Amino acid sequence: MRTQVAIIGGGPSGLLLSQLLRTKGIASVVLERRSRDYVLSRIRAGILERGMVGLMRQAGLGERMDKECYVHDGTLIAFDGEEIPIDFKALTGHSVTVYGQTEVTRDLYDAAEADPGRVLTECDEVMPHDLDSDKPYVTFVKDGQTQRIDCDYVAGCDGFHGISRQMIPAEKRREYEKTYPFGWLGILSETPPVHEELIYATSQRGFALCSMRNENLSRYFVQCPMTEKVEEWSDDRFWDELRRRLPAHHAEAMVTGPSIEKGIAPLRSFVCEPMRWGRLFLCGDAAHIVPPTGAKGLNTAASDIHYLFNALVQFYEEADADGLERYSETALTRVWKAERFSWWMTTQLHRFPDQTDFDLRIQRAEMEFLRDSEAAQKVLAENYVGLPY
Ligand code: FAD
Ligand code: DHB
């Protein structure tokens, strides 16, 4: 087999890149380890920045999204019973879009059905070779048969636990990491959202987030120690804890019901530099992770895809490799800003086990400054709606 771009990983990054390349007549093959159903069952991100919304439209997949999404012009930050409305639209002229990662990946998998062989699922032992030559190739095992794809470039879109990043020799790779001493316990429930906008709440009992997918599907999270087990959290215990972390009138208005999904996720900041080695380009979670506070994970993957897609088009249409040469530097400049914002949101809104009274007063001062300063609100809004690409 031969293609122009071999893409390892069929999550949102890999599928979106392949779909965008298709619009320019550039051939790609996506190699995904799991089944389509498995990928579609992973409930993850819920908020899209305008850049990601634009990429979906550019990929020819705006129709269902534009019909079913919800546009949010602001959010609420709650602390100690107070509420700070952040009016994205007034502060930045932009909004965010509620459309789940499951819907994004479903649209991308459905679109791929038009081109049999463009997305191959259940591929084992995917391995790129000769990435530092001008003739790279990827081998994999599908249905018990070892196969080989020759290509011009390899896109490593295989998430944090993938193999692509490991292909960069250790002495050429620098990894920056921060783990947080807590996780997020999240549920999905078929209940109406407690408020029309998202609520990011900090309280003496820790952080809580009220999010949603639609009028009758809510997504809620509470900060918890990573030592907790999901089995120890009955639905009743979850709802009680969530209510105790919210301003009273929201807690009273909360409609509860059985959870249809429940899980605990760790929080981590991580960046790998560089994001390119030879003919390998890392995108999305393969290169960087953010803690979920601020909804930047999927959106930062999207900006990588934007830069790589445009660089590949420049190469194939104009025989100009400049964008590819500069991909790592360009992508990382934006990645680090998303890392900074996610770290800041996480640090300001969570309770840390070793926090001193001084740290708590600083957190409170941050919230009071945010409440009283339009400039501070603008900084939050500008980052939340997404920095331009
Ligand atoms: P992934 O979605 O990880 O996709 C990588 C794909 O590569 C996977 O399908 C995987 O099966 C495949 N793969 C892995 N290894 C191999 C291999 N060796 N060979 C072939 N295929 C391979 N972000 C937010 O913005 N908001 C959230 O609320 C949020 N919640 C999250 C909750 C969890 C539990 C996790 C893990 C992430 C969450 N994120 C969230 C982050 C967001 O989901 C990711 O940033 C986004 O999925 C990145 O997309 P990706 O395609 O780069 O990586
Ligand atoms: C969602 C997740 C987030 O991490 C976030 O900051 C906002 C929304 C969500 O899944 O809906």
- pLDDT on residue 182: 98
Distance in angstroms (rounded) separating the CA atoms of residues 308 and 35: 26
Residue nearest to atom 1 of ligand 2 (CA): 46
Dump pLDDT digits (tens) for 272-311: 999 999 999 999 999 999 999 999 999 999 999 999 999 9
Token pair of 153 as six digits = 């470039």
Span from the CA of 252 to the centroid of ligand 2 (angstroms): 22
80 pLDDT exceeds 90? no
Mean pLDDT of 328-347: 98
pLDDT greater than 90 at residue 150: yes
**Residue with CA nearest ligand 2 atom 3:** 295
pLDDT at 81 exceeding the cut of 90 = no
pTM over 0.95: yes
CA-200 nearest atom, ligand 2: 6
In this prediction, residue 357 carries a pLDDT of: 97
Closest by CA position to 149, among listed 299, 306, 5, 355: 5
Position in ligand 1 atom list of the atom nearest CA 140? 19
- DSSP H helical ranges for the chain: 12-23, 36-41, 50-58, 62-68, 88-92, 101-112, 235-244, 248-253, 297-318, 322-349, 357-372, 374-385
Q: How far is the CA of 205 from the centre of ligand 1 (A)?
A: 29
Q: Hey, how many other C-beta atoms are within 10 angstroms of the C-beta on 350?
A: 20
